[in-house]
Amino acid sequence: MRSEQNTFKAWPIIIIVVLALLAISFLSQWYAQSVTLPRYCDNPEQSLHLLQKILTKERPAGEETRRPYIIAAKLLFLVPRQNEETIPAYLERVRKHLRQQCRL
């Protein structure tokens, strides 16, 4: 008589986890392109100005409200700065990205 052993099969769980991670990645990319970036289309130059202050000043908001700076700082995550990219080159790249996104 053979005794059957219950063996744990990890492959289905691994596949589900990988698919979930891929789905999250694609959905977050879609959300950034379709929802978050278009919010900057109302006044892209204002956002770029605030982003420049964030990159160049220690306390960009000073005593002002920080909300506009926090919104502009999201651009750092949506359009990450490349290694050793200068601030003017980065801001120009973000400007071009916003123009493409906003069709300006």
Mention every residue, 6+ apart, whose C-beta is less than 8 A from residue 77.
Answer: none
- For residues 97 and 38, the answer to whether their CB atoms sit within 8 Å is no
Is pTM, for the whole model, over 0.85? no
Domain ranges of the chain: 11-102
Provide the pLDDT for residue 67: 86
pLDDT digits (tens, 9 = 90+) for 46-99: 999 999 999 998 888 888 888 888 888 899 988 999 999 999 999 999 999 999
Q: What distance in Å separates the CA atoms of residue 23 and residue 65, rounded to the nearest whole number?
A: 36
